[in-house]
Amino acid sequence: MARKPSTNPKKTSAASDMVTIHDQQLHRGEGGELHQFAEDGHDTLTTAQGAPLADDQNTLRVGARGPALIDDFHFREKIFHFDHERIPERVVHARGYGAHGFFETYEPLSDITRADIFQRAGEKTPVFVRFSTVAGNKGSFDLARDVRGFAVKLYTKEGNWDLVGNNIPVFFIQDPIKFPDVVHAAKQEPDRAFPQAQTAHDTFWDFISLTPESMHMVMWIMSDRTIPRSFRFMEGFGVHTFRFVNADDKSTFVKFHWKPKLGLQSVAWNEAVKINGADPDYHRRDLWQSIQSGNFPEWELCVQLFDQDFADNFDFDILDPTKIIPEEILPVRPIGRLVLDRMPDNFFAETEQVAFMTQNVPPGIDFSNDPLLQGRNFSYLDTQLKRLGGPNFTHLPINAPKCPFHNFQQDGHMAMRNPVGRVNYQPNSFGEGPRESPTRGFRHFPSDEQGPKVRLRPESFADHYSQARQFYISQTPPEQRHIAMALTFELSKVETLVIRERMISHLLNIDETLATTVAQKLGLQSMPAPADAAMPTRQDLEPSPALSIVERGPKRFEGRKLGILVTDGVDAKLLKVLTAAIEKEKAVVELIAPKVGGIVASDGKRIVAHHMIDGGPSVLFDAVALLTSPEGIEDLVNEAAARDFVADAFQHCKFIGYDRSAAPLLAKAGVADALDEGTIALPGEEGIAAFVAELGKLRVWAREPSIKLGKA
Ligand code: HDD
């Protein structure tokens, strides 16, 4: 049989080394390893030991219909490896999705930190980010109502810095000893193993209602923050107070915020429920598509910097992870930007095996005494050992630093970095190996600590309701409505009446109208007394508009998606002009048609669709347009999926642009009599310009009360 040249340029470049072994080609690659090519020019399939294989379709048997043979080392090795493919999923944040990118420093911050990453303007540092949900398992759906993890690994020149945050700036608990309890309560109940990926069940609300410190977090998780439209449109927070430390060992307290360049956006709950069916990988697909198409998501890293004086005079304890410092009191300062521009080559090797640890800080960044942070600093290292199977997980490329590193750690399971030479300790007399550097090395901030050994919660952590109320009153009316609806939904799934009542008793300490609304919607027969509070007086804090998603929404449609429902006979020019206008906004158009094979437009040309109607419901888009024709609309009005497309877009308060021929479909969907400023007739370029200008608002909130989502 003739030799076949490789199509891989790397391999053909070494063609002179080739020798013939049977029917195969063989040469030495860059690392000196032998490459073998099968008859068709592909690499030859081998066992893990490198033995070339002739048949990977059939096990070895006695005769065609006889028993299998233990001689079959190929089958045994293959199935053994397959049987061991899984590693334990993360105990929390099991479902996640990651991407590579870079962090760019805006300006030197040497006056406040010696962290190398903040010394030079314009310097780029490689990063890996993993977003996640918390409660669901690895295979759960993306739009669970849940906190999102926002974990960033920055490969700085002085070691990896892991900023392991969430999209919510506070946490449920103040002490890490309660972490197993809150997680147990939130996850599936242990006897029945449901519900998956949701907090709408008895055990979660039981624990929460017995844990008043969680009330501020409860307001956040019942807001639309927990149903983000995309990872790209959510904020991230380091949560705790950290320290920056400069070269003179002066410390400045710091809180970290990631602000998305494209503004904040969430979906409606009814939308989330439907997205989970239509596309359980909605957030994954969104990140994948935007990065693959060159629309790289971007966030600014902002800091709130303060000193001990500020800390002493602030209303709350800056060590309490259930509290924020409102941006109106202490503005955020942008210090750099994060851009995600590359998907991993292999999900398992990178996204699954990445090991984030809060204790990974380079010189110049240090911890505060936030008890939760200190507990985390123990937990993350511990969990990686279990999950990744041994102490050498730092040898995995995704976890290894990208700066030089030297130490005497050796051996252990799967050791890939094996020191050479005789000396594996220090000090030594041979002048070999790395030594510590008192000037360059990490120096812990020498804070003055003393006190009795106690198990005690500080009194300064005792106000559990003031900031919960502040969050609630900082929301716009639609957002307040959503909080009431979310609480009603979740508590309606709680079967134990006393738990429902206990939650209402807490809500009474936050906002009486909210408590009454939820109680009424639940059909509670009588109002309970307000919950006993550790600190009897709640402070009436000023609203903080920075806490509202709607206030922090985008001004443009950039980065969003318009779904255009098209039929045969669609006005080709109208479709072209609308598509161009959307693409000019740096947004994406997808076409939905009765058949995925597409439609024939008014100019006689076939246009291929992205989805058939069942596969492309309007919940997948930020706004929709109906570009139909008098002949095309007839079939559509009889399709339930087409009616749902319109009715859902309307009830989710989306902008709907329509060609007048779509009027019968609007009528069938029950919205013809309710047309408002968000339903825009498109004929002509003017109509299109007006439609596109409105899209930046994303939702027609004024419509919401009329669609009976409930009044706050
Ligand atoms: Fe945690 C994972 C964020 C409190 C213990 N946590 C984990 C991840 C994120 C957070 C984003 C996923 C990292 C990844 O993508 O691999 N956790 C937080 C935030 C907290 C928090 C923002 C509060 C401010 N966590 C917290 C406490 C403890 C842990 C109090 C334990 C005392 N977290 C873990 C863990 C995990 C984890 C068990 C599971 C998988 C992992 O670490 O790598 O160690």
429-478: pLDDT as tens digits:
999 999 999 999 999 999 999 999 999 999 999 999 999 999 999 999 99
Closest residue by CA, ligand 1 atom 15: 130
CB of 165 closer than 6 angstroms to any ligand 1 atom: yes
Q: Which residue has the tokens 């047309």?
A: 675
Q: Are 102 and 127 a contacting pair, CB within 8 Å?
A: yes
In a 13 Å sphere around the CA of 47, the CA atoms on its Cβ side amount to: 13
Q: What is the pLDDT of residue 685?
A: 80
Rounded Cα gap, residues 638 and 551, in angstroms: 40
Give the residue-averaged pLDDT of 591-598: 97
pLDDT at 622 over 90: yes
Q: What is the pLDDT of residue 39?
A: 76
Banded model confidence at residue 536, pLDDT cuts 50, 70, 90: confident
Rounded Cα gap, residues 463 and 449, in angstroms: 25
pLDDT at 6 over 90: no
pLDDT at 152 over 50: yes
For ligand 1, what atom is nearest to the CA of residue 91? Answer: 39
For ligand 1, what atom is nearest to the CA of residue 382? Answer: 44
- Residue-wise pLDDT tens digits, 648-679: 999 999 999 999 999 999 999 999 999 999 99
pLDDT at 237 over 80: yes
Cβ density class 176-214: b for 16+ within 10 Å, e for less: bebbeebbebbbbeeeeeebebbbebebbbbbbbebbbb
Rounded distance from Cα 175 to ligand 1 centre (Å): 14
* Among candidate residues 318, 313, 355, the one with its CA nearest the CA of residue 243: 318
Rounded Cα gap, residues 356 and 213, in angstroms: 26
pLDDT at 28 over 60: no
CATH 1.20.1090.10 holds for 96-169+227-395: no
Give the whole-number percent of the chain exceeding pLDDT 90.
90
Rounded Cα gap, residues 248 and 50, in angstroms: 56
Rounded Cα gap, residues 297 and 102, in angstroms: 11
Q: How many residues does the chain have?
A: 712
Instruction: Give burial (CB, 10 Å; 0-12/13-18/19+) of 1.
Output: exposed
Cα dist. 287→101, 115, 284, 641, 652 in Å?
A: 13, 30, 5, 27, 23
Q: Are 547 and 608 a contacting pair, CB within 8 Å?
A: no
Instruction: Give burial (CB, 10 Å; 0-12/13-18/19+) of 97.
Output: buried
Written as six digits, the tokens of 149 are 């993890």
Cα dist. 306→163, 310, 495, 541 in Å?
A: 19, 6, 46, 20
pLDDT at 14 over 70: no
- As a whole number of Å, the end-to-end CA separation of the chain is 78
Rounded Cα gap, residues 243 and 256, in angstroms: 10
The rounded radius of gyration (Å) of the Cα atoms in the chain is 29
- Residue-wise pLDDT tens digits, 317-372: 999 999 999 999 999 999 999 999 999 999 999 999 999 999 999 999 999 999 99
Amino acid letter for position 594: P
For ligand 1, what atom is nearest to the CA of residue 379? Answer: 44
* Among candidate residues 171, 139, 187, the one with its CA nearest the CA of residue 464: 171
Q: Which residue has the tokens 């109940």?
A: 189
pLDDT at 49 over 50: yes
CB of 151 closer than 6 angstroms to any ligand 1 atom: yes
* Among candidate residues 169, 233, 696, 709, the one with its CA nearest the CA of residue 478: 709
For a pocket test of ligand 1, which of 87, 91, 92 has the largest count of ligand atoms closer than 8 A to its C-beta? Answer: 92
pLDDT at 590 over 90: yes
CB of 515 closer than 6 angstroms to any ligand 1 atom: no
Q: What is the pLDDT of residue 538?
A: 85
* Among candidate residues 637, 630, 482, 652, the one with its CA nearest the CA of residue 563: 652
Rounded Cα gap, residues 418 and 436, in angstroms: 20
Banded model confidence at residue 553, pLDDT cuts 50, 70, 90: confident
In a 13 Å sphere around the CA of 320, the CA atoms on its Cβ side amount to: 22
Written as six digits, the tokens of 440 are 């360059």
For ligand 1, what atom is nearest to the CA of residue 94? Answer: 40
Q: Report the relative pairing of strands 298-306 and 148-156 from DSSP bridges.
A: unpaired
* Among candidate residues 96, 94, 211, 218, the one with its CA nearest the CA of residue 152: 96
Rounded distance from Cα 179 to ligand 1 centre (Å): 10
Chain mean pLDDT for the chain: 93
* Among candidate residues 255, 235, 233, 236, the one with its CA nearest the CA of residue 244: 255
Q: What is the pLDDT of residue 559?
A: 97
CB of 376 closer than 6 angstroms to any ligand 1 atom: yes
Written as six digits, the tokens of 629 are 């024709």
Banded model confidence at residue 32, pLDDT cuts 50, 70, 90: low
Closest residue by CA, ligand 1 atom 35: 380
Q: Which residue has the tokens 């640890």?
A: 357
Active site residues: 93, 166
CB of 171 closer than 6 angstroms to any ligand 1 atom: yes
CB of 143 closer than 6 angstroms to any ligand 1 atom: no
Coil, strand or helix at 654: strand
Q: Are 681 and 687 a contacting pair, CB within 8 Å?
A: yes
For ligand 1, what atom is nearest to the CA of residue 173? Answer: 30
pTM of the model: 0.94
pLDDT at 531 over 50: yes
Q: What is the pLDDT of residue 19?
A: 34
Coil, strand or helix at 168: coil
Banded model confidence at residue 305, pLDDT cuts 50, 70, 90: very high
Closest residue by CA, ligand 1 atom 26: 376
Binding residues for heme: 90, 130, 179, 376, 380, 387
Q: How far is CA 332 from the centre of its chain?
A: 22
Q: Report the relative pairing of strands 656-658 and 251-260 from DSSP bridges.
A: unpaired
CB of 36 closer than 6 angstroms to any ligand 1 atom: no
Closest residue by CA, ligand 1 atom 18: 165
Q: Report the relative pairing of strands 96-105 and 236-237 from DSSP bridges.
A: unpaired
At residue 244, φ and ψ (nearest 5 deg) are: -95, 140
Closest residue by CA, ligand 1 atom 1: 376
In a 13 Å sphere around the CA of 279, the CA atoms on its Cβ side amount to: 18
pLDDT at 30 over 80: no
Rounded Cα gap, residues 304 and 333, in angstroms: 6
Banded model confidence at residue 537, pLDDT cuts 50, 70, 90: confident
Banded model confidence at residue 154, pLDDT cuts 50, 70, 90: very high
Q: Which residue has the tokens 């070999």?
A: 432
Rounded distance from Cα 380 to ligand 1 centre (Å): 7
Tell me which architecture the domain covering 561-707 has in CATH.
3-Layer(aba) Sandwich (3.40)
CATH 3.40.50.880 occupies which residues in the chain? 561-707
Give the residue-averaged pLDDT of 531-557: 92
Give the residue-averaged pLDDT of 582-610: 97
Rounded Cα gap, residues 258 and 167, in angstroms: 9
CB of 92 closer than 6 angstroms to any ligand 1 atom: yes
What is the signed CA dihedral for 239, 245, 250, 251, rounded to 10 degrees?
10
Contacts of 357 (CB under 8 A, 6+ apart): 162, 164, 377, 380, 381, 384
What is the torsional sign of CA 82, 130, 200, 538?
positive
CB of 371 closer than 6 angstroms to any ligand 1 atom: no
CB of 222 closer than 6 angstroms to any ligand 1 atom: no
Q: What is the pLDDT of residue 169?
A: 98
More confidently predicted of 39 and 196: 196
For a pocket test of ligand 1, which of 89, 91, 93 has the largest count of ligand atoms closer than 8 A to its C-beta? Answer: 93
Rounded distance from Cα 92 to ligand 1 centre (Å): 7
Written as six digits, the tokens of 294 are 């060159």
Cβ density class 645-655: b for 16+ within 10 Å, e for less: bbbbbbbbbbb
Amino acid letter for position 314: F
Rounded Cα gap, residues 646 and 671, in angstroms: 8
Rounded distance from Cα 372 to ligand 1 centre (Å): 11
Q: What is the pLDDT of residue 708?
A: 65
Q: Are 707 and 651 a contacting pair, CB within 8 Å?
A: yes
Q: Are 205 and 236 a contacting pair, CB within 8 Å?
A: no
Q: What is the pLDDT of residue 420?
A: 87
At residue 160, φ and ψ (nearest 5 deg) are: -75, 135
Rounded Cα gap, residues 621 and 69, in angstroms: 55
* Among candidate residues 641, 497, 515, 13, the one with its CA nearest the CA of residue 222: 515
Banded model confidence at residue 34, pLDDT cuts 50, 70, 90: low
CATH 2.40.180.10 occupies which residues in the chain? 96-169+227-395
